């Protein structure tokens, strides 16, 4: 592992990071960069594919995740991966999602240089665009960070509040804030041979505060883990059909959640397919059984069915919840479900491309109690 | 709009007594999509079939639901009837209202109610059944037979005589299998080698048989009608074209008579250059590369004596293994059995005394080609035994070992008792400890009576243990017919060990995608009606690899397997069942889950199109890929997700 | 509420059970139960599938949401699958489905996966008796009264 730092000039974290990225891009080590950059209105930061270093005005801190970066990398690589290295700046949850998509043959890591960024958390899109404080979300976040206060917590999306791991793993290069005195420097670490080769060529100063970094990472992981445990305990209450049906009551079966989900990789969702087309008499017969039934039908079947399809690979990015037009707090159900299911199969989505997804493997001597009696 | 006809069968009174057929028919006629519902006493009869055919024509039906017995019974019949009537045979759905309704529920009201749900869900499926047509596949008229025991020999000869090319693969240096080790066979006392050797010779000389001895199958790809098989020919270190079988190499070998002979069950010796037994086929020598000094140590005195002795120059020490490929249309597995290691029943002390032997070892003692030239001598002192005691069911019918019956133990014991009496005369005491004596075959019971008359002591009960005391063996036995506990002193104990699946059966079953039954032998497709078929089309089983059996049954089964294989090989083209998987290319994302999950390697990923594809010839229609696919890209023809969901809705 | 209670009085409640049986083992086992005239409650309604490994969890969810009181999946015994390993895959899918139902408190006890061979007619009948009684004890599927799913 190579440990370097980016010196922060004039207290401008974002600008200094951009100098690094711009340097990286003009070095020719990567042909282009996918990185969050604010749109001209400054209302929202999207992943932007930049090939001209002069046009780079990225904001790697911008606390917003409007779309799944993993899904974008999937789109760009699944048909044919780039022939020369492409840098992609990603948050940890999106790297995890990307690893899952690679397993599912929906993305390739060939010539993809993953630049992971420590993620403090992100705001819902509308909070970001209509930010109530008198500064930009990025400035606010950096200030809060320097103060080490938890003022930003209330703005974070629920998924971010209980993030599994805000520090990137499986990245080639990591841009680290945790443990850094961000008024002075940002950590730059190479976590792979590819990353190492790239960093070698860029003249960066060596990291001196390695111990701090290690400690801070451990701390933040502990802290998030604690919050997650509390969250899981709190949400245990959504049990039983009464509660579950009430929970999903506002679902209009629009399937936006699955559209936003990086793991839902199907071209056409089963629940949108002709499998669910039916003759009028079939609807009427189903009404007859219960005397009445709500339309559009099968919203809960969709929710449970989708969960059944993706929960083992769920990286808890919370994009489903963000996509819900009726603000159903989906994470309250999906995080506990993911936690339980993944534990059951001892599966760790996003950890390793060689870890096989649980539904394609089995052992003869497992779950012996299921099916017996 | 679809036009479905429902036909409700009374099955005499089998259905009618517990299901109100009239009410059911009336109910069915009201269902959506049903244009006519009829009832009849026996739908499977000629009259029933005519009724169905005429109704199809009269009402212009395009789908048929038969409410009758299990589809496992008559699905095929009714598909044919529908086809004759002009409805695609795959647009027939059977509602099982006999086995799973009228026979299982005697409350007529409840049974009728259940039958209605079952019929409604069948109609629901019938409405969305697609007309299908089987596709065809060219057949390679050659067969692969794996295993050169009597089962493999018989199958090979039958097929070769039918005019098909046969590739017979045997892993040992010679064919013959266990039968070659036997002296006489029960109950007729035919000399085993006298009846086997001519068959082995016929195999060797048959124009249609390619014998691949000392070879093993390493991979099998393809499907019924068109398998590609890879076979590893192990090096014999002997040029079989030059070897005349003279035996000069064996006589010259420095290790002559220093290696335990497998053929003689370790009771005789051989050298590193050897012929397993005098009647071996092919009659070619082999050099044991695990023992040969030159092959293991690189040095054999100044030079290998065998090489020097061979006038033909047939010894080739640098011979390498060779992988050959054959294409065949059908495969017969005849890999035989293993004899259980009697040490696993430790109380019988097999490893405690050389005088405790197995029936197979006794065969070699009795055989005139055996280590004692047919003299029955105690292995410990080479003296004639005064008393020999047989213990049956060693490991057989035993919950802790093999739950099954070996089916040859009783008769082998009786045969050996007969032969011992013949060879050793009146002097020898013969005891048999048994639990049940099973002499079930033709002429077996008569043979049993003959042996009873030869002063054989037959005790019903098993010894608690066999103890080795100085120069004799002691057995405590409780005879359950006389309720007496007594002691037997004996010179030799012959254990009758269980018959086991071959040690590599599991590994081998994976190679061929075969299923095993609970006992670990290969599972037949149906115990009664498809006894030599397996669940993999085009692969058949014969002999003891399917389960213990005697030579008679093995030979019959081998013939049956050959005839089943010939049914395939005699056709130019084969129809492939169309109820298999397919891919909706527009929906498939090429994630590869189905490819990983398919145990038949019937699915491949088309990297260019980024979709999964199905090899129709390999797909067996299990539907596993359909459940694994999160979208509707994987489709199981006529078991689609939509059809199943409709059935679920309408069965409630 | 009182009316609903009356509607679902436990004693006279007949559970509706949907059964998915694999063609080679469980379905044949059910046939054998019939052939042997072994009686069992008529509550189970059987859908034939080729393999327990072909049962999409969605079918089970659909049955439960539409108001089935129980769902039964029958497969070949481990090691005996007609299709080599379909039952092992069915087992994993069942574990996942039960896990999800468990997390949401949706009575995973209503889903039964059992191994029944073609020769186990008696076991099939016994299992149907056991399941009918177990589901009767659980009471009507509470999902049935929800029309807003």
A174, A205, A233: which is the final residue of a domain?
A: A233
Across chain B, mean pLDDT equals: 95
Residue A339 has pLDDT above 50, yes or no: yes
How far does B342 lie from chain A, in Å, by closest CA?
Answer: 28
- Contact B591/A274, CB-based, under 8 Å? no
- Contact C149/A245, CB-based, under 8 Å? yes
Question: What are B220-231's pLDDT values in tens digits?
Answer: 888 889 999 999
Question: What are A211-255's pLDDT values in tens digits?
Answer: 889 999 999 999 999 999 999 999 999 999 999 999 999 999 999
Residues A303 and A352 reside in one and the same domain: yes
Residues A201 and A253 reside in one and the same domain: no
- Contact C39/B599, CB-based, under 8 Å? no
Residues A198 and A165 reside in one and the same domain: yes
Q: Which residues of C touch A289 (CB under 8 A)?
A: 66-67
User: What is the CATH architecture assignment of B4-132?
Assistant: 3-Layer(aba) Sandwich (3.40)
Residue B157 has pLDDT above 80, yes or no: yes
- Contact A345/C57, CB-based, under 8 Å? no
Query: Under a CB-based contact definition with an 8 Å cutoff, are residues B477 and B461 in contact?
Result: yes
Nearest to A362 among C89, C98, C113 (CB): C89
Q: Which CATH class is domain B340-500?
A: alpha beta
- Token reading at C126: 């016994």
- A26-43 average pLDDT score: 94
Question: What are A297-311's pLDDT values in tens digits?
Answer: 899 999 999 999 999
Residues A277 and A142 reside in one and the same domain: no
The pLDDT value given to residue C9? 53
Total tally of structural domains belonging to chain A: 2
Residues A189 and A260 reside in one and the same domain: no
Residue B616 has pLDDT above 90, yes or no: no
**How far apart (Å, rounded) are the C-alpha atoms in residues B526 and B534?**
8
Query: Residue A300 belongs to what domain range?
Result: 240-370
Cis peptide before B187 (omega within 30 of 0): yes
Could you please report the per-residue DSSP string of B64-112? EEEEES-HHHHHHHHHHHHHHHTS-GGGEEEEE-IIIIITT---HHHHH
- Contact A275/B632, CB-based, under 8 Å? yes
> Percent of chain B having pLDDT more than 70?
100
- A106-110 average pLDDT score: 97
CB atoms near residue C36 (< 10 Å): 15
Closest residue, chain B, to C71 (C-alpha): B648
User: What is the CATH architecture assignment of B577-636?
Assistant: 2-Layer Sandwich (3.30)
How many DSSP H helices and E strands does chain A contain? 14, 8
Q: By mean pLDDT, which of A4-18, B260-274, B502-516 is the weakest?
A: B502-516
Residues A84 and A66 reside in one and the same domain: yes
Across chain A, mean pLDDT equals: 94
Query: Under a CB-based contact definition with an 8 Å cutoff, are residues B157 and B180 in contact?
Result: no
**Interface predicted TM-score of the whole assembly (ipTM), two decimals:** 0.94
How far does A104 lie from chain B, in Å, by closest CA?
Answer: 5
- Token reading at B18: 């517990």
B241 pLDDT band, cuts 50/70/90, is: very high
The pLDDT value given to residue C4? 47
The pLDDT value given to residue C11? 58
The pLDDT value given to residue B537? 84
Question: What are B40-84's pLDDT values in tens digits?
Answer: 999 999 999 999 999 999 999 999 999 999 998 899 999 999 999
- Between chain A and chain B, how many beta carbons pairs sit less than 8 Å apart? 66
| B136-234+321-336+502-575 against B340-500: fold identical | yes
Residue in C90, C77, C88, C72 with CA at minimum distance from that of residue C116: C77
User: What is the CATH architecture assignment of C14-145?
Assistant: 3-Layer(aba) Sandwich (3.40)
Nearest to A370 among C62, C85, C91 (CB): C91
Question: What are B400-428's pLDDT values in tens digits?
Answer: 999 999 999 999 999 999 999 999 999 89
- Contact B121/C57, CB-based, under 8 Å? no
Please report, for chain B, the start and end positions of each structural domain, with discontinuous segments joined by +: 4-132, 136-234+321-336+502-575, 248-309, 340-500, 577-636
Q: Which residues of A touch C142 (CB under 8 A)?
A: 240-242
The pLDDT value given to residue A4? 92
**How far apart (Å, rounded) are the C-alpha atoms in residues A302 and A292?**
19
How far does B512 lie from chain C, in Å, by closest CA?
Answer: 11
- Between chain B and chain C, how many beta carbons pairs sit less than 8 Å apart? 140
Question: What are B313-368's pLDDT values in tens digits?
Answer: 999 999 999 999 999 999 999 999 999 999 999 999 999 999 999 999 999 999 99
Sign of CA dihedral A292, A297, A303, A308: positive
A233, A259, A275: which is the final residue of a domain?
A: A233
How far does A268 lie from chain B, in Å, by closest CA?
Answer: 6
- B615-632 average pLDDT score: 93
- Contact B648/C45, CB-based, under 8 Å? no
Probe site for chain A from B120, B606, B631 (most A CB atoms < 10 A): B631
B578 touches chain C (CB under 8 A): no
- A36-50 average pLDDT score: 95
Q: Which residues of C touch B103 (CB under 8 A)?
A: 34-35, 37
Residue B171 has pLDDT above 60, yes or no: yes
Q: Which residues of B touch C126 (CB under 8 A)?
A: none
Residues A205 and A261 reside in one and the same domain: no
Query: Under a CB-based contact definition with an 8 Å cutoff, are residues B610 and A74 in contact?
Result: no
Nearest to B103 among C35, C49, C53 (CB): C35
Query: Under a CB-based contact definition with an 8 Å cutoff, are residues C73 and A339 in contact?
Result: no
A175, A210, A233: which is the final residue of a domain?
A: A233
Query: Under a CB-based contact definition with an 8 Å cutoff, are residues B408 and B187 in contact?
Result: no
Probe site for chain C from A293, A371, A372, A373 (most C CB atoms < 10 A): A371
**How far apart (Å, rounded) are the C-alpha atoms in residues B332 and B532?**
9
B32 touches chain A (CB under 8 A): yes
**How far apart (Å, rounded) are the C-alpha atoms in residues B475 and B457?**
14
- Provide the chain C residues 12-41 that lie in CB contact (below 8 A) with chain B: 16, 18, 23-24, 27-28, 30-35, 37-41
Residues A107 and A54 reside in one and the same domain: yes
A229 touches chain B (CB under 8 A): no
> Percent of chain A having pLDDT more than 70?
100
Residue A202 has pLDDT above 90, yes or no: no
Residues A42 and A189 reside in one and the same domain: yes
- A152-164 average pLDDT score: 95
- Provide the chain B residues 108-147 that lie in CB contact (below 8 A) with chain C: 110-111, 113-114, 117-118, 121
For residues B392, B394, B398, B401, the Cα torsion angle rounded to the nearest 10 degrees is -160
Question: What are A124-134's pLDDT values in tens digits?
Answer: 999 999 999 99
Mean pLDDT of successive 10-residue stretches along chain C, which has 149 residues? 48 90 93 93 97 97 94 91 90 97 95 91 96 96 90
Probe site for chain B from C15, C42, C69, C82 (most B CB atoms < 10 A): C42
The pLDDT value given to residue B221? 81
Query: Under a CB-based contact definition with an 8 Å cutoff, are residues A177 and A17 in contact?
Result: no
**How far apart (Å, rounded) are the C-alpha atoms in residues B419 and B287?**
35
CB atoms near residue B512 (< 10 Å): 19
Residues A209 and A341 reside in one and the same domain: no
CA B180 to chain centre: 20
Question: What are B542-555's pLDDT values in tens digits?
Answer: 999 999 999 999 99
Closest residue, chain C, to A363 (C-alpha): C88
- Contact B630/A266, CB-based, under 8 Å? yes
Determine the CATH number of domain B136-234+321-336+502-575.
Answer: 3.50.50.60
């Amino acid at each position: 592992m190579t440990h370097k730092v980016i010196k922060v000039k004039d207290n401008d974290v974002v600008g200094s990071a951009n100098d690094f990225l711009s340097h990286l891009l003009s070095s020719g080590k990567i042909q282009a960069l996918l990185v969050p950059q604010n749109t001209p209105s400054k209302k929202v930061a999207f992943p932007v594919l930049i090939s001209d270093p002069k046009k780079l005005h990225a904001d790697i801190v911008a606390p917003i995740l409007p779309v799944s970066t993993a899904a974008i990398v999937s789109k760009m690589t699944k048909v044919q991966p780039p022939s020369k290295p492409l840098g992609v700046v990603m948050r940890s949850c999106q790297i995890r999602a990307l690893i899952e998509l690679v397993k599912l043959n929906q993305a390739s890591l060939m010539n993809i240089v993953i630049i992971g960024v420590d993620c403090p958390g992100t705001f819902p899109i509308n909070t970001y665009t209509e930010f109530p404080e008198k500064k930009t979300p990025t400035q606010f976040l950096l200030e809060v960070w320097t103060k080490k206060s938890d003022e930003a917590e209330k703005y974070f999306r629920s998924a971010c509040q209980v993030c599994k791991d805000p520090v990137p793993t499986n990245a080639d290069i990591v841009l680290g804030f945790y443990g850094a005195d961000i008024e002075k420097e940002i950590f730059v670490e190479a976590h792979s041979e590819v990353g190492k080769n790239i960093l070698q060529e860029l003249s960066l100063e060596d990291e001196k505060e390695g111990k701090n970094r290690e400690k801070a990472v451990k701390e933040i992981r502990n802290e998030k883990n604690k919050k997650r445990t509390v969250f899981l305990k709190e949400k245990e209450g959504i049990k039983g059909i009464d509660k579950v049906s009430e929970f999903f009551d506002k679902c209009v079966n629009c399937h936006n959640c699955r559209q936003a989900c990086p793991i839902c990789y199907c071209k056409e969702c089963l629940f949108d397919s002709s499998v669910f087309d039916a003759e009028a008499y079939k609807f009427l017969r189903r009404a007859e059984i219960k005397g009445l039934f709500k339309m559009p039908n099968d919203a809960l079947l969709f929710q449970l069915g989708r969960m059944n399809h993706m929960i083992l690979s769920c990286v808890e990015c919370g994009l489903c919840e963000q996509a819900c037009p009726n603000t159903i707090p989906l994470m309250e159900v999906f995080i506990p479900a993911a936690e339980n299911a993944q534990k059951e199969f001892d599966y760790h989505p996003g950890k390793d491309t060689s870890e096989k997804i649980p539904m394609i493997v089995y052992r003869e001597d497992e779950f012996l109690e299921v099916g017996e009696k | 709009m679809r036009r479905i006809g429902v036909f409700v069968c009374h099955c005499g009174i089998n259905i009618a007594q517990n299901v109100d057929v009239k009410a059911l028919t009336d109910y069915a006629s009201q269902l959506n999509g049903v244009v006519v519902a009829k009832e009849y006493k026996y739908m499977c009869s000629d009259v029933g079939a005519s009724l169905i055919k005429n109704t199809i024509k009269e009402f212009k039906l395009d789908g048929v639901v038969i409410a009758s017995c299990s589809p496992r019974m008559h699905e095929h019949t009714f598909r044919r009837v529908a086809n004759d009537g002009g409805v695609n045979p795959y647009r027939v759905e059977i509602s099982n209202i006999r086995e799973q309704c009228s026979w299982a529920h005697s409350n007529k009201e409840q049974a009728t109610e259940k039958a209605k749900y079952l019929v409604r869900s069948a109609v629901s499926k019938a409405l969305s059944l697609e007309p299908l047509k089987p596709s065809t596949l060219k057949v390679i008229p050659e067969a692969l037979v794996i295993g050169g025991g009597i089962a493999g020999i018989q199958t090979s000869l039958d097929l070769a005589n039918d005019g098909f090319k046969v590739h017979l693969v045997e892993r040992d240096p010679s064919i013959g299998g266990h039968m070659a080790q036997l002296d006489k066979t029960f109950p007729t006392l035919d000399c085993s080698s006298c009846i086997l050797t001519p068959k082995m010779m016929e195999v060797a000389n048959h124009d249609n048989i390619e014998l691949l001895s000392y070879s093993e199958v390493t991979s099998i790809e393809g499907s019924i009608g068109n398998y590609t098989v890879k076979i590893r020919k192990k090096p014999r270190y002997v040029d079989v074209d030059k070897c005349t079988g003279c035996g000069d190499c064996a006589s010259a070998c420095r290790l002559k008579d220093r290696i335990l002979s497998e053929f003689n069950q370790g009771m005789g010796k051989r050298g590193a250059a050897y012929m397993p037994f005098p009647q071996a086929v092919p009659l070619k020598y082999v050099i044991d590369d695990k023992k040969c000094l030159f092959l293991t140590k690189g040095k054999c005195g100044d030079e290998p004596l065998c090489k020097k002795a061979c006038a033909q120059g047939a010894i080739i020490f640098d011979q390498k293994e060779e992988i050959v490929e054959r294409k065949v249309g059908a495969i017969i597995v005849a890999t035989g059995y293993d004899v259980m290691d009697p040490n696993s029943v430790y109380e019988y002390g097999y490893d405690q005394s050389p005088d405790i032997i197995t029936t197979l070892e006794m065969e070699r003692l009795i055989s005139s080609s055996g280590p004692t030239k047919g003299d029955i001598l105690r292995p410990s002192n080479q003296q004639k035994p005064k008393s020999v005691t047989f213990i049956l069911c060693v490991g057989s019918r035993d919950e802790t070992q093999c739950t099954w019956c070996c089916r040859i133990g009783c008769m082998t014991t009786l045969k050996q008792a007969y032969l011992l009496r013949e060879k050793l005369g009146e002097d020898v005491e013969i005891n048999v400890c048994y639990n049940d004596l099973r002499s079930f075959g033709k002429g077996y019971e008569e043979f049993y009576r003959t042996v009873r008359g030869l002063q054989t002591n037959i005790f019903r009960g098993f010894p608690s243990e066999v103890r080795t005391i100085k120069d004799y063996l002691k057995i405590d036995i409780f005879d359950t017919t006389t309720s007496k506990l007594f002691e037997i002193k004996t010179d030799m104990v012959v254990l009758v060990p269980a018959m086991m699946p071959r040690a590599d059966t599991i590994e081998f079953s994976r190679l061929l995608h075969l299923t095993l039954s609970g006992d670990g032998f290969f599972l037949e497709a149906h115990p009664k009606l498809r006894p030599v078929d397996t669940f993999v089309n085009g692969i058949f089983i014969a002999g003891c690899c399917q389960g213990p059996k005697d030579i008679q049954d093995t030979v019959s089964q081998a013939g049956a397997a050959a005839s089943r294989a010939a049914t395939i090989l005699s056709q130019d083209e084969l129809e492939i069942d169309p109820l298999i998987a397919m891919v909706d290319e527009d929906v498939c994302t090429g994630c590869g889950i189905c490819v990983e999950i398919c145990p038949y390697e019937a699915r491949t990923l088309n990297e260019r199109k980024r979709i999964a594809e199905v090899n129709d010839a390999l797909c067996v229609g299990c539907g596993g890929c359909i459940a694994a696919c999160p979208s509707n890209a994987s489709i199981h023809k006529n078991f689609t997700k939509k059809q199943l969901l409709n059935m679920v809705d309408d069965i409630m | 509420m009182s009316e609903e209670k009356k509607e679902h009085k436990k004693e006279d409640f007949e559970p509706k059970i949907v059964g998915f049986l694999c063609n080679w083992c469980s379905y044949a086992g059910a046939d054998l139960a019939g052939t042997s005239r072994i009686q069992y409650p008529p509550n189970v309604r059987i859908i034939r599938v080729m393999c327990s490994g072909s049962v999409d969890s969605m079918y089970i969810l659909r049955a439960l949401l539409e108001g089935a009181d129980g769902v039964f999946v029958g497969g070949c015994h481990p090691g005996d699958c007609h299709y080599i390993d379909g039952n092992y895959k069915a087992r994993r899918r069942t574990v996942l489905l039960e896990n999800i139902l468990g997390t949401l408190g949706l009575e995973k006890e209503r889903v039964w996966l059992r191994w029944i061979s073609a020769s186990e007619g008696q076991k099939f009948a016994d299992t149907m008796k056991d399941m009918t009684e177990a589901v009767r004890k659980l009471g009507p599927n509470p999902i049935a009264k929800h029309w807003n799913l």
